Amino acid sequence: MQVCDLLSWWSEVQMGPPDPILGVSEAYKRDTNPKKINLGVGAYRDDQGKPYVLSCVRKAEAQIAAKKLDKEYLAIGGLGDFTKACAKLALGDDNEVIKSGRNITVQTISGTGSLRIGANFLSRFHTEARDVYLPKPSWGNHTPIFRDAGMQLKAYTYYDPKTCGFDFQGALNDISKIPEKSVIMLHACAHNPTGVDPRPEQWKEIADLVKKRNLLVFFDMAYQGFASGDIDRDAWAVRYFIEQGHNIVLSQSFAKNMGLYGERVGGFTVVCKDAEEAKRVESQLKILIRPIYSNPPMNGARIAATILNTPDLYKEWLGEVHGMANRIITMRELLVANLKKEGSTRNWKHVIDQIGMFCFTGLKPEQVERLTKEFSVYMTKDGRISMAGVTSGNVGYLAQGIHAVTK
């Protein structure tokens, strides 16, 4: 046997760095401190810190089980009952886009899969511009997804660390300089990681400016319903842009708002000029999907479709989403109250002003490190905490820790 037989093909393969977000959960799991808190990954937890399976989901599952359906392949674009309902949820039942058939909505592997299909589609067909402008900061996975699809990443000002709020003027300034036809990524609601959303009048100005600059709008909506508790309110920006004539592309996820994380339920929509164009775009989306995974998984889409299409389940769902959003809002208020109780003199108003699952605390990396090392509070280095990980049981301890590292 020759020496080269003993070598591996993979000798030169480097150890990849751990994923910053999912890596936090893994470090949390290894920690033996009974007081540990996981404020890393954005998965909802109830007030006992437990995963929450929605009641409407359980009911939908029981209904589906009773139907004794087969397991035949879905079409490449996914379950029709799901994609239609998915589009209606985002755009509104009576939306002119849906009525005229000028949207194509395909089922995707949750939000990530949707963004990836979108990125691949733009990379192949939006050849006038290679640049995608992300808000600064954005979800950590946006950059590698678009880069891997062959796009270039740029940024526009978004978060103001001085106010822990929205840098509206900064955003407008940067957006006004974006070259025509570039892609601009907008978080529809509950911005990840900051929780900072534009107000409606600010959205209007952004929409106006984006139109003037002739930019292609890519909306990422991963938290519809989860932000304010109201489905329509959270989709307001998406619908407004469409009304104003933007033919957007849109990614939706049902991971959080239906608690279907591991079932991988999502949608990707392209709003086209007309139905004929939508058909052409659909055919190309299928060509993109097939060499990745052929066709999408049934289980989660079937659950989501059942909920969206069954009136009393839909009603129950709206109530449960509202409940989850409310618990988050309550935790925000409790955290600030507890920080004040601890004697913190810092301004924590942003904790309440921000919306959705995440809160950009304003903590610096060194403070985060201390919080993790000394208090076993796990979060990402950028100071982002998942409010879903906060409970009435741990909010006091959390406030202690945050105060200790910031006083």
Q: Is 260 in the site for other proteins (CB under 8 A)?
A: yes
Burial string for 173-211 (b: 16+ CB within 10 Å, else e) reads ebbeebeeebbbbbbbbbbbbbbbbbeeeebeebbebbe
Looking at residue 216, its amino acid is L
Binder of other proteins out of 55, 99, 100, 144 (CB under 8 A)? 144
Q: What dihedral angle (degrees, nearest 10) is formed by the CA atoms of 231, 237, 242, 243?
A: 90
Q: Which one is catalytic: 220, 234, 317, 348?
A: 220
Structure tokens at 401: 């820790």
Binding mask 52-81 for other proteins (x = CB under 8 A): -x---x---xx--x--x-xxxxxxx-----
In the region spanning residues 161 to 220, those forming contacts with other proteins, defined by CB under 8 A, are 181, 216
Structure tokens at 246: 């933007």
Q: Considering beta carbons, is residue 266 or 383 the nearer one to other proteins? A: 266
Binder of other proteins out of 244, 294, 347, 392 (CB under 8 A)? 294
What are the CA-CA distances from residue 318 to residues 89, 99, 344, 387 (Å)?
A: 12, 24, 37, 20
Under 8 Å between Cβ of 218 and 248: yes
Binder of other proteins out of 27, 47, 80, 126 (CB under 8 A)? 126
Q: How many CB atoms lie within 10 A of CB 116?
A: 22
Q: Which one is catalytic: 59, 167, 256, 317?
A: 256
Task: Answer yes or no: 139 catalytic.
Answer: yes
Looking at residue 194, its amino acid is T
In the region spanning residues 263 to 292, those forming contacts with other proteins, defined by CB under 8 A, are 263-264, 270, 272-273, 277, 279-281, 283-284, 286-287, 290-292
Q: How many residues bind other proteins, per CB under 8 A? A: 77
Q: Which one is catalytic: 139, 203, 317, 348?
A: 139
Q: Considering beta carbons, is residue 262 or 365 the nearer one to other proteins? A: 262
In the region spanning residues 37 to 56, those forming contacts with other proteins, defined by CB under 8 A, are 41, 43, 51, 53
State the nearest-atom distance from the C-beta of 292 to other proteins, in Å. 5
**Within the chain, what is the greatest distance between any pair of CA atoms?**
73
Active site residues: 139, 220, 256
